[in-house]
Copies of this chain bind each other. A is one copy, B any other.
Amino acid sequence: MQTRWADRYALRTQGMRSSAIRELLKVTAEPEVISFAGGLPGADLFPLDEFRRAYERVMGEHGPAALQYSTTEGERPLREMIARHTSRYGIVVTIDNVLITTGSQQALDLIGKVFINPGDHVLVERPTYLGALQAWSTYQAEYLTARIDEHGMRIDDLEAAFRGGPKFVYALPNFQNPAGVTLSLERREALVRLADEHGVPILEDDPYGQLRYDGDHLPSLVTLDAAYRGLGGPGYSGNVIYLSTFSKILAPGLRLGWVIGPPDVIQRLAQAKQGADLHTSTLVQLLAYEVARSGFLDRHVRRLRTAYAARRDAMLAAMAESFPPGVTWTRPAGGLFVWAALPSSLDANELLRSALEDKVAFVPGNPFFPDGSGRNMMRLNFTNSSVERIQQGIARLGRAIGRMSGSSA
């Protein structure tokens, strides 16, 4: 039944449709389905005992203040901890550089609200994180794109896209969602330099940076930008806004992320956040702080790396064994995802329907492309399944691909 509200949607949201893929993937809640679909960390690795102890400390030390309204910018001890943590990586930030957000997704929404005029172009990787496209489409953003290869964004595409006059560049340098690739050091430096030359700021999204399984940590864009500009002192005020989150290193059900940026931008984002949800849950902030302090989080991240590396290896080995010739995939050095390409004649959306009959799920590639291309691609999450389930699930998926290849041949 149409209601009075339903014929009054704003122009910006009239195009919103419930995603067909999202509807299909609702069945992944059934336990017999092996799901490589969500971007979920492994629930079996959540530190439940540490959360129990932390809750007792929060209630003991903060009492009612943990349940009361608090400041929009976030709890001071948590912001200080994040500033210290960030400062380990070669730039010196203060709490005035830090805003706490209700997950990184809120940071993407606030960036859209504060910066995007209808018709503004954002330069994104192709493919890129679909949640960013979703957040910014409601602000009527348009997109310039740079293809990615195994070393991340291609510099030739980047140079061309900069000439289109983007409002900002959106980059996921580490173990990118969805493709799992990492931007090389040379390209990071080129990106920082090119952005500066074109006078374009950079949004760096880094949910997975701590989850590296092979090779050495590469400097973040915010660090390279500070070095490039000679910003040695405390209080970063450069060209990059940096986003990260507790979702992948601790627990996504908290909904807790943060922004690092120039103080004037942090203030403006905080003003927008005040209208969006007043502040992030006080209790959640204090809980994460109590879990993370005293070095626990560093130890926990080391444990995650070991477990997730084994799951990634299991997935790559199973793919090599089960997938028919003609399917290719990335070998991520970290993060949560393997990205696979079917032969271009095959449609991953059709494969998903077939795979769900075999009780295995993934996300087809097209929602990660602003232009809806990438229909032969698929994103596979390896962090939320055991090695055994990964082996079973990839075998099922291999059979489903085999059936489709056979019928289309």
Q: Which residues of A contact B (CB under 8 A)?
A: 1-6, 8-13, 16-18, 38-41, 43-44, 46, 48, 51-52, 55-56, 59, 63-70, 102-103, 105-106, 108-109, 113-117, 120, 131, 134-135, 137-139, 167-168, 199-201, 237-239, 241, 247, 251-255, 261-262, 264-265, 267-268, 271-272, 274-284, 287
Contacts and interface: CB of A to CB of B under 8 A. Distances in A.
B268 A13 contact: yes
A48 B59 contact: yes
B40 A6 contact: no
Contacts of A67: 43, 46, 48, 51, 251-254
A265 B8 CA distance: 10
B113 A239 contact: no
A43 B16 contact: no
A277 B254 CA distance: 11
A278 B10 CA distance: 21
Contacts of A1: 237, 262, 264
A109 B271 CA distance: 13
Contacts of A241: 5
Given A13-B114, A113-B12, A199-B4, A135 B275 contact: yes
What is the copy number of this chain in the assembly? 2
Contact of A278 (B139, B201, B255, B272): B255
A365 to B, nearest CB: 19
A268 B16 contact: yes
A125 to B, nearest CB: 19
A75 to B, nearest CB: 10
Given A10-B114, A40-B68, A272-B13, A254 B281 contact: yes
Contacts of A108: 275
Nearest to A276: B109
A51 B67 CA distance: 10
Given A5-B262, A43-B67, A283-B287, 16 more contacts: A6-B262, A10-B115, A10-B139, A13-B113, A13-B271, A13-B272, A40-B68, A52-B56, A67-B252, A68-B253, A135-B276, A138-B275, A251-B283, A255-B279, A276-B276, A283-B284
Contacts of A106: 276-277
A65 B252 CA distance: 10
A115 B64 CA distance: 37
Contact of A116 (B4, B10, B69, B252): B10
For A6, A16, A69, A117, which residue has the most chain B Cβ atoms within 10 angstroms? A69
Given A3-B201, A4-B199, A117 B10 contact: yes
Contacts of A134: 274-275
Contacts of A281: 102, 253-255, 281, 284
A277 B105 contact: yes
A113 B120 CA distance: 18
Nearest to A267: B18
A103 B277 contact: yes
A2 B263 CA distance: 10
A135 B279 CA distance: 13
A1 B239 CA distance: 12
A117 B278 contact: no
A36 B269 CA distance: 27
Contacts of A272: 13, 16, 138
B255 A8 contact: no
Contacts of A247: 69
A261 B3 CA distance: 10
A403 to B, nearest CB: 31
Contacts of A3: 201, 237-239, 262, 264-265
Contact of A268 (B9, B63, B66): B9
Contact of A6 (B52, B265, B283): B265
Nearest to A236: B3
A69 B65 CA distance: 26
